[in-house]
Structure 1
Amino acid sequence: MSEVASEALADFLKQRVGDHLRSVLYYDSDGGNVLYLRDDVAEQYDDSEREKVLQDVRLEAFEKPHQEDLYEHGPLNCTVRCFEDAVEMHFAHDETSGTAVALDGEVFAIHNTFIGKCLEAMEE
């Protein structure tokens, strides 16, 4: 996957979730590029903290072949982390490149997702 594909994802998410999109980051072996960063999120993270996030997703991408070998499920398409205030999705394209996306946590409930329904079921 290329940065162009990640830009297409960013455009899709802007249309689909609007103001609930927090950030989209593309990275490869040469570095990283912030494709979208909502203003209030930009204020929360300085350059050093953004670099730590980049390092984290790179490490996770490095593990992609191991994860695919460990589970007999086919290619690993995406990992999702659900926090109270945000949902982090990581699309590792290969061992050295990928796209990291952050959405507001409430997106799962608003868009009636399966994970959102599971979270609601546990609250009852």
Structure 2
Amino acid sequence: MRAVAHYDHNSADIRTADGVGDGVTDDHVQEIIDDLRLQDVSQTRQESLFDVGSLYCTIRAFDDALVVHFIQGDARGTMISLEPSTAPGLTEFIYDVLGILHEHSEQEINRAPQWTGSKQD
């Protein structure tokens, strides 16, 4: 685990693994938490748009992290940042889809995520 953050209306408690977040300012952390709170607000709209039940969490895949955001309602939630290697099935699926899009669609996938171990050009 890279980091975990619990937040509510007024505060946030953030814990990071050694070496993660070095040099990250309090203002930057506050921006992240504010963004997570905004995502909470859109939960109800997304549930009605997709019409597949309740939205429990969102997952974002970046080069250096998977970010899982658990929505706990009313501007409250938990965010967990993981190394991509901790979810090999998910990262392999994402990589496979990126490869398919690169080969068979007009979308441009300029590079493969670092965790795939290969590079697309």
Q: Normalized per residue, which structure has more helix?
A: 1
TM over 0.5: yes
* 1:67 equivalent in alignment to 2:41: no
Q: Deviations over 1:37-69 (max 9, x none)?
A: 112113141111111111110110111111111
Q: Deviations over 1:70-99 (max 9, x none)?
A: 111111011000011110110111131110
Please show how residues 13-32 of structure 1 align to structure 2 within 5 Å.
21-32=1-12
Other-structure match for 1:79: 58
Structure 2: give runs of 5+ residues left out of the alignment. Answer: 101-121
Structure 1: give runs of 5+ residues left out of the alignment. Answer: 1-20
Give the superposition deviation at 1:123.
Answer: 4.7
Q: Normalized per residue, which structure has more strand?
A: 1
Aligned length: 99
Other-structure match for 1:40: 19
Larger radius of gyration: 2
TM-score by length of 2: 0.73
How much identity, in percent, do the aligned residues show? 26
Q: Counterparts of 1:60 and 1:52 in 2: how far apart (Å)? A: 13
What's the Cα RMSD here?
1.7
